[in-house]
């Protein structure tokens, strides 16, 4: 992934910083277009994964739509050039001011997650005599077989409308004069590595699609969300997820009506492998039972290991000739015991000043950084700027 020219340039940069391989990112977008968009599927890029303007610029050039989960993301999408007609606004807790941002910009639709939200959107739309287009996010009770913090489609999760509430919604709809129901929406979780959960989602979506059809609703959008995972353990050999198999799963198992469009909301799988967190070794020390490598990046720059116990590959990109492997706990400088990237991690023996790359950080990395401990703001670099 890293050329010698890039490595020479890294030596002169203040670390830590995020680095993005735009060539890989563009190839990933090409695969999504080849196997998804070319079949007529509508792919919304999830801004929550990475909302950097340079990343969004590439997404727009590739012709993808936007999936937003806050008013700020809606504003960022529009500022960067997404057409409001290609923006879907999801989120279990939309504030009134955020709903108004969507209404003012006449976005494609709101993905609605509760009966009360429907009533609030109807009330806000009525103030300006608008019609708000909505898709109902339904909880399909499909297990995504992923980490408990990033599963979203089970009945105990906070997300979506449970099927038992649909009769109340059907009864309510005739009174919602400023709501137009255009679709149904699902999202079962994130970092889903097997295709079986998506097959199960298709079967549930088929059943629920029939429920709405039998009630007389001619839905135009079936939105199956995202959640397709990436290979964190082999970022170089699996730089681009197998989008062909992913989209074929829906082509094979989802039954659409002639008037319906299939929408996706992909984030991690689009940008995850394109980003790395570049960091330096500050100190090494030998403890009673452990060897420690203390680096200048911490949970403030990449919170996933502390939050999800996520494991990212870490590569030494300095000259490592003549070094033998050694085990380390690779830890950050933050005053928290959870500020640990890897434990008992085998890597060529580390020295103060070595440059490391923490891989697969393009999604939910830079976008989740914080200033905890009053950490200095870090920089961002792109491959066409460095080499």
Per DSSP, helices labelled H in 272-327 are: 304-308
**Residue positions counted in the chain:** 387
Using alpha carbons, select from 283, 349, 363 the residue that is nearest to residue 316: 349
* pLDDT tens, residue by residue, 32-51: 999 999 999 999 999 999 99
Domain with residue 339: its CATH number is: 2.40.37.10
Domain with residue 220: its CATH number is: 3.20.20.10
Kindly give the confidence (pLDDT) of every residue in the chain, 387 residues in length, as a single tens digit, with 9 standing for 90 and above: 676 656 777 888 999 999 999 999 999 999 999 999 999 999 999 999 999 999 999 999 999 999 999 999 999 999 999 999 999 999 999 999 999 999 999 999 999 999 999 999 999 999 989 999 999 999 887 755 544 444 443 455 567 898 889 999 999 999 999 999 999 999 998 899 999 999 999 999 999 999 999 999 999 999 999 999 999 999 999 999 999 999 999 999 999 999 999 999 999 999 999 999 999 999 999 988 999 999 999 999 999 999 989 999 999 998 888 999 999 999 999 999 999 999 999 999 999 999 999 999 999 999 999 999 999 999 999 998 764
| Angstrom distance (rounded) from CA 278 to CA 10 | 8
Give the domain-ending residue among 214, 238, 271: 271
Give the domain-ending residue among 244, 271, 298: 271
Same domain, 148 and 163: yes
pTM: 0.94
Count other C-beta atoms under 10 Å from residue 304's C-beta: 20
* pLDDT tens, residue by residue, 223-240: 999 999 999 999 999 999
Give the domain-ending residue among 271, 293, 328: 271
Q: Are strands 17-20 and 325-331 parallel, antiparallel or unpaired?
A: unpaired
| Angstrom distance (rounded) from CA 324 to CA 335 | 31
Which domain range does residue 317 map to? 4-16+273-386
Q: What is the pLDDT of residue 293?
A: 98
Number of domains in the chain: 2
Looking at the DSSP bridge assignments, the partners of residue 358 are: 277, 314
DSSP string, 182-222: EEEE---BSSB-SSHHHHHHHHHHHHHHHHHHHTT----EE
Tokens linked to 213: 């059809």
Q: Are strands 179-185 and 132-137 parallel, antiparallel or unpaired?
A: parallel
Same domain, 248 and 126: yes
């Amino acid at each position: 992934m890293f050329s010698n020219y890039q490595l020479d340039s890294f030596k002169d940069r203040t670390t830590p910083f995020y680095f993005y391989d735009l060539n890989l990112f563009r190839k990933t977008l090409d695969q999504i277009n080849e196997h998804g968009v070319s079949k007529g599927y509508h792919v919304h890029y999830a801004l929550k994964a990475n909302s950097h303007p340079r990343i969004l610029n590439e997404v727009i050039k590739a012709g993808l739509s936007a999936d937003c989960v806050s008013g700020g993301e809606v504003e960022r999408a529009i500022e960067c050039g997404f057409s409001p007609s290609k923006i879907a606004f999801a989120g279990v807790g939309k504030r009134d001011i955020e709903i108004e941002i969507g209404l003012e910009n006449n976005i494609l639709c709101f993905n609605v997650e509760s009966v009360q939200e429907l009533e609030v959107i109807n009330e806000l739309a009525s103030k300006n005599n608008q019609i708000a287009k909505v898709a109902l996010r339904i909880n399909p009770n499909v297990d995504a077989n992923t980490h408990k913090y990033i599963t979203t489609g089970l009945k105990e999760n906070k997300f979506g409308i449970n099927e038992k509430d649909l009769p109340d919604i059907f009864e309510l709809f005739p009174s919602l004069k400023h709501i137009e129901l255009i679709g149904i929406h699902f999202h079962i979780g994130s970092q889903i590595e097997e295709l079986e959960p998506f097959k199960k989602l298709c079967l549930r979506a088929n059943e629920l699609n029939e429920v709405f059809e039998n009630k007389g609703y001619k839905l135009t959008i079936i939105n199956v969300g995202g959640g397709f995972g990436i290979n964190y353990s082999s970022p170089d050999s699996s730089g681009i997820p197998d989008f062909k198999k992913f989209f074929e799963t829906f082509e094979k198992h989802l039954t659409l009506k002639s008037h319906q469009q299939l929408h996706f909301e992909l984030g991690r799988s689009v940008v995850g492998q394109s980003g790395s967190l570049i960091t330096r070794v500050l100190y090494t020390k030998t403890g009673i039972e452990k060897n420690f490598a203390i680096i200048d990046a911490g949970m403030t720059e990449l919170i996933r290991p502390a939050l999800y116990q996520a494991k990212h590959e870490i590569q030494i990109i300095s000259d490592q000739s003549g070094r033998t492997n050694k085990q380390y706990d690779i830890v950050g400088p933050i005053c928290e015991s959870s500020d640990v990237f890897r434990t008992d991690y085998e890597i060529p023996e580390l020295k103060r000043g070595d440059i490391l790359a923490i891989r697969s950080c393009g999604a939910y990395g830079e976008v989740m950084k914080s200033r905890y401990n009053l950490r200095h703001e870090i920089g961002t670099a792109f491959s066409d700027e460095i080499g």
